[in-house]
Structure formats: structure tokens, C-alpha cells
Structure 1
Amino acid sequence: MAAKKASEGFAKVVADEVQRWGSMKQTGVSLRYMMEFGSRPTERNLMRSAQFLHKELPIRIARRAIELQSLPFGLSEKSAVLKVRDWYLDSFHDLRSFPEIKDKDEELAFTQMIKMIKVRHNNVVPAMALGVQQLKKDLSPSIVPKDLEEIHEFLDRFYMSRIGIRMLIGQHVALHDPNPEPGCVGQINTEMSPMLVAHAASEDARSICFREYASAPEVNIYGDPNFTFPYVPSHLHLMVFELVKNSLRAVQERFVDSDKDAPPVRIIVADGIEDVTIKISDEGGGIPRSGLPKIFTYLYSTAKNPLEENYEGVHEGVTMAGYGFGLPISRLYARYFGGDLQIISMEGYGTDAYLHLSRLGDSQEPLP
């Protein structure tokens, strides 16, 4: 009995602490600031970065943990969502238990710890997707998509915050790399070639298409191969991969029984003064106009669901389709650094996706 009382007391202390940190103000940073700060990874700068994260990460993580406890339609009670909440509470506890960082050894120990936090949260997207699937199974048919807007808004905030947390941790960890690639400041490549990233992402998407359908349409890329700008290659790879994967699937399924050759997917990279725009065009038959509002929601996918109870082995972006999370999350990645993603479709012909990336790098992180 005494043990139960103690654990309840402990839970209350943790809950109060999470509430206290969750009500503090978050501090956003810009791509340009990360680049300028990270271009001199001196011991003093790494210490300052660790001290900033020591205070900033618990605030961001506490906010999400609080939200995870009060989601509508009983989403908070789903086993997969409870698991995610526990990951966030564990990470909050790890960060708050870590003493103030005063020297190089403490800074290195802190860096190891946040690296572990990032790994702990690797499967948050498939776990939340599974929670949403569990919810969909239990929802009464009388609930219309409009009622679910609150869940969409929560997931937008939740994933946007996750992108920020992973970017801050990843950037700090990467600044410790003794042999960074030329032109790279942490995770940011100051001379990233969008053509090269688009090519690599397209090849990855084609290999998955091959695995699923035993063939894949060609992908043709147009643009200036010498053009570069500062961006995070892993973010761009994820977005282009997702868009090309959707296009390949649409074309493949439209032409599967046709005697015509499947038309290629076309990627055009345009370099403007404010934005770099990447257009991905396919002739996969398009999306009916009534379906367009749904493609950025988290409760919609036209494919069979690849998620079973076991999502531990699932990594982001490995299945051809089925989460229904790829497009909304890609749009968040674009918006994280001040860009956007738009989809324009011609039913009966095909779809164009416009990925706008801000060149200026000075938009602040959007902090949900």
C-alpha cells in the first residue's frame, strides 16, 4: 500500500514538473542562425549549444507530453499512443535529471544522452500512425471528417514539434563530427545540389516500386546541375522521395495492364530569387477534386495499411504506401524552414506537386 502511495506521489511530482516546463516559452532558431553558429564548432560554442538544449528540449518535450494526455475521441488511451507518451516522459525525465553543463566532459555526456533520446523517438511516426488506425477502427460511422479536425491540428503541431526537436538534437550531435563533409555545417549542406538530392531520392523510390511491382517508371530530372543552395539534404530527400513514390505508384497502377509504355515521372528544379521550387509531375490519372482536401489529412490513405501491431521495425519512408502520413508530414518539413507543398491535380490525366523551399534561410522555426 505504501509503495502504491509513493508511486502516486511520484507521478504527481512528475506531472507538476511537466506542467511547469510545458508552460515556459519556447525559443525558435532559423536555418541561417544554425549555419552561422555551427560554422565555428569551438568548445565554447558547443558548450553554449548544449546549455541552450538543456533548457529548450524539456520545454518542447513537456508540451507534447501534456497534449498526448488529453486527445479527443479517446486517442490518448490507445496503447500505441500511451507508448509514445511514455517515451516523451522518459526523455523529459532524462533531460531534467541531467545536471548543469559546466565543462567539456559534461557537454560530451549530454550529447551522448540526447543522441539516445533521438533513437528512443525513432518510431514515433509509425506508433502514432498505429494509434490513429486503432482509433479509426473504433470510431462510429456517424463521425464525419470535420469532427476529426482537432486530431489533425494536434498531429500537425505534434509532428512539426518533432521535426524541430530532431533538427536541434541532430544539429548539435553532427557538430561533433571530426571530419565533416565539405560544405556541411552539422546537418546543413551550405552547397546542396537539389538535382543530386532529387536523383538519389528518385532512385530510392524507384527501387521500392521495383520491389512492389517488379517494374518502375523512369524519372527524368531537369534543371541546372551546378546550382546549389543551403538546406538540410535529409529533409529534401524525405520530401522528394515521398512525392516521387506517390507518382510512381499512381503511374504504375494506371498502366499495369496497358500495352502502352508507362510515361516517365518528370522533376523540374527551378531556382528563383526567394524560393527554389521543385515540381514533380506524373501522368498517373490524377486525384478527383473531391479527394484533394483529404490528401493532407492523417486519416486517409488509398493503399492497404502496412501497419500491424508490431511497428518496432518500421522506419519512416520504407513502405510504398499505406500510412496516409507521407504527404502531410512532407508539407510540415517544407514549412519548417519557411517553404510549402502544394498539389494540383487533373483527374483523368495526372498530378503536379510543387515543393517550394525558401532560399533565404531566415524564417524562424514555426513553434507549435
Structure 2
Amino acid sequence: MSLRQLFFFGRTLTEDRLISSANYVRNELPTRIAHRLREMQSLPYVVVTNPHLSHVYELYYKSFEAFRKLPVVNTIEDNDAICKVVSQSLKEHMTVIPRMVMGVMECQDYLPADQMDAFVHGMLRARISRRVIAEQHLALTDTYNSPGHSPHPSSENDFVGEVLLRCNAEEIVRGCGDFASQVCRDSSEGGVVPQINIRGHLGATFPYVLSHLEYIIGELLRNSIQAVMDHHKDSTKPPPPIEVLICEAPQQVVIRISDQGGGIPRDILPYLWSFNKGPRSQQRLISLGQIPALAANMNEVQIPGAPGTHVRDSSLSQLSIRNPKMRLGMGLPMSKVYAEYWAGGLELHSLEGYGVDAFLQISKLGNQNEKLISRASIDAA
């Protein structure tokens, strides 16, 4: 599955295509969940019986049982019935990420850390794939049922389901920067938020799932803002700005985010992409215990009720208004999983005592298939 396939299929939306999409969802979701159940069953018994991982397993098994019993879709009414089941499952699975990460952190004495990290990365990639399939179909159904729907929309219709055909890099960075700045400003008790300067190819566009991109850039910018504010909190001068450079090439767009926040501490640097190891694991576990659910989208760095905020029907209030200093230790590894899912990449280069450069690589054409295994796994093979 690629972004191009998603938007070409959904751009001409007829009843037959919607029913075809519903049957794809009906067949694909239980198959992908079955693989994850089998993967969890292969873990040592003491790991699977962890309360958090057991909770995740039961959610997956419940969804598998519900999806495998769905009848073939022949009518729009059948599709509406499937959409109700899918929507309910998406809501129930909002707790999966924090519970899964808490589980693997509590079980780090029973399996090597690298093996546990590989397990979490695989589960997250599979989760993204299922939610893309499910949310894309729900969005197409909403489009089909909307008043005045035409099977042949105008070229001005930029959204096809959840896919934005022309994501403008500058607009996304600016919007995410405004939200991240507001969150940090409200929690800093008078601290000065650094300015965000954007330059380069400001007209660069590409197809992408907007919520994925907003999550990645939002997390990167918030990390930079917090680091700069902390590093220069005792200075009488305005904090140095965060520089964002957008570079457009024929097949990719690269977004570089540079800050002068003092760099990443040496003791943390080796564990940047890990979910379950590092010197601050215990504090992260405490913070995660205060988060009821995690959707991994832009709503999690927004303030409830803020302009432009779309509040999902889920218990995200504690996460949305959490203090930025509540370190979950999940933003970077999750952002990397999301970036690599659509054949992109995320790299960080830290200069201790000065700052960090983050490089986000995005496939510009949208013709790359979803990556359900990591690049490290590909290289090892």
C-alpha cells in the first residue's frame, strides 16, 4: 500500500469503490491483527502476563474476533455497519501505546533491550498500517455520505480521505511551530519562547497523511523550543531562534530543524531511539502512568479549545494539557517510526554544549509502499 494508491483509489469515489474498500478493510484488518497476536504469543510467558501487555493482547483479540465475524459488504447499509465496528475499535485502542510501552519497560529484565525495542517498533508500524486502512475508509465513507458529493470531485479538493495531496511544508512547519510555542509559553511561567525562522524552498509540496506529518514536526519543534528555553533561561538576551530549512529535490523533501539548545546529554544520546532503556526510564514510566491514552497525532500537543483544535472523542485531556517538562521519552522513537513508515527517515546530529540538527526526509512522490519492517531489519537480511 502506498500514498499514491490511497489517493488514486479514493479520488473517484463511487458506490462500488466504497464497497470494495469496505471489503478490503474487512479482510485486511483481522489478518494484520492476527500477525500481531501471533507475535505476542511468541514472547516469554512472564512478559505476556504483564498487566499492561495483557491489556493490549486482550484488546487485539477482541478486535480480531469482531472483525473476523463481519459479513461480506454488498450495500451501503452493510458498509455503515462495518464502520461502526471499526470506529469503536479505534476508540478502544487509544490506550495501546502507553500501556504497551509501560509493559516493555517493566519487563526489561526478562528480555534483552534490543529485542524489546524491535518488538515495540514492529507493533507500532503494524498499528500505523491498521489505522491508516481504517481511518482512510472511514474518511471516504464520510465523503461519500456528505451532502453534494460527486463521484468526480474538482481538482481543488486537496483531501482524499486522510491523505492531503499537496502538503505545503512551510504551512505545516509554521502551524506546528505556533502550537508548540503556545504550549511551551503557557507552561513556562513567563519564559521567552524562541522565534522560528523558516527558509529554503517554501513552496515545496508532497502527498502525505497530515496527522502523521504534524505529529513528527510538532514533536521535533517542541523538543527544540524546550531545549532552547532551558539552556538560555538565565540569559538576559532573547533566546537564539530555531532555524528551519526546507530543501526540495526531485524525489524527496528534507526539513532540517536546527536549534542552539545545548545539545543532547551524552548519557542519553545512545538511547534516543529506544522505548525501554536509558538512564531516565523510571521517570518516564511514572510520567506514562499519568497519560490515559495516546493517539499520536497533533491533538496531543494542542491546548483543548485552542483555535483550529479538533478534539477527538477520547480521553486525551491529561495528555493535551500536560506540562512539556513531563518527559515521556516516546516522541523521538515514535516520530522515527512514523517517518520511516512512508519510506522517509529521521536523523539527529547533536553537538554537545551547542545544539541539535534534526533532518526529516520525506518521499515527495508518494509512490513508496508502507514499510512494515524497519530499515535495520532490511539491512540485516
TM-score tier after normalising by the smaller chain length: 0.7 to 0.9
Where does residue 242 of structure 1 map in the other structure?
219
String of CA shifts for 1:242-293, please: whole Å, max 9, x gaps: 1111111111111122223211212111111111111111101112556433
Cα distance in structure 1, aligned partners of 2:178 and 2:195: 9
The Cα of 1:308 is off from its aligned counterpart by 5.4
With over 3 angstroms needed to count, the CA separation of the structure-2 counterparts of 1:51 and 1:81, relative to structure 1, is same
Where does residue 16 of structure 1 map in the other structure?
none
Structure 2 counterpart of 1:312, from 281, 292, 298: 292
Count, aligned residues: 333
Confirm or deny: 8 A CA contact 1:84 1:127 kept in the other structure.
yes
Where does residue 41 of structure 2 map in the other structure?
69
Confirm or deny: 8 A CA contact 1:194 1:228 kept in the other structure.
yes
Deviates more, 1:349-358 or 1:280-289: 280-289
Counterpart of 1:176 in 2: which secondary structure? helix
Confirm or deny: 8 A CA contact 2:163 2:209 kept in the other structure.
yes
- Give the AA of the match of 1:182: N
Percent identity, aligned pairs only, is: 32
Confirm or deny: 8 A CA contact 1:205 1:241 kept in the other structure.
yes
Counterpart of 2:13 in 1: which secondary structure? coil
Confirm or deny: 8 A CA contact 2:47 2:53 kept in the other structure.
yes
Counterpart of 1:191 in 2: which secondary structure? strand
Cα distance in structure 2, aligned partners of 1:266 and 1:236: 18
The Cα of 1:232 is off from its aligned counterpart by 1.5
Cα distance in structure 2, aligned partners of 1:314 and 1:39: 30
With over 3 angstroms needed to count, the CA separation of the structure-2 counterparts of 1:269 and 1:301, relative to structure 1, is farther
Structure 2 counterpart of 1:324, from 326, 329, 333: 329
Where does residue 364 of structure 1 map in the other structure?
369
Q: Does 2:347 correspond to 1:342?
A: yes
Query: For residues 134-173 of structure 1, what are the structure 2 equivalents within 5 Å?
Result: 134-135=106-107, 139=109, 147-173=112-138
Normalised to the residue count of structure 2, the TM-score between the two structures is 0.81
Aligned-residue Cα RMSD (Å) equals 2.3
Cα distance in structure 2, aligned partners of 1:267 and 1:75: 42
Counterpart of 1:122 in 2: which secondary structure? helix
- Give the AA of the match of 2:63: S
Q: Does 2:226 correspond to 1:226?
A: no
Where does residue 212 of structure 1 map in the other structure?
187
- Give the AA of the match of 1:274: Q
Structure 2 counterpart of 1:107, from 54, 79, 104: 79
Normalised to the residue count of structure 1, the TM-score between the two structures is 0.84
Indicate the structure whose relative CO is greater, using CA pairs within 8 Å and at least 6 residues apart: 2
Q: Does 2:329 correspond to 1:333?
A: no
Counterpart of 1:177 in 2: which secondary structure? helix
String of CA shifts for 1:15-56, please: whole Å, max 9, x gaps: xxxxxxxxxxxxxx1111111101112110111111111111
Q: Does 2:150 correspond to 1:203?
A: no
Where does residue 185 of structure 1 map in the other structure?
160
Confirm or deny: 8 A CA contact 1:130 1:307 kept in the other structure.
no
With over 3 angstroms needed to count, the CA separation of the structure-2 counterparts of 1:44 and 1:231, relative to structure 1, is same
Deviates more, 1:314-323 or 1:107-116: 314-323
Where does residue 97 of structure 1 map in the other structure?
69
Q: Give the unaligned 5+ runs of structure 1.
A: 1-28
Q: Give the unaligned 5+ runs of structure 2.
A: 150-155, 301-319, 374-381
Cα distance in structure 1, aligned partners of 2:199 and 2:279: 30
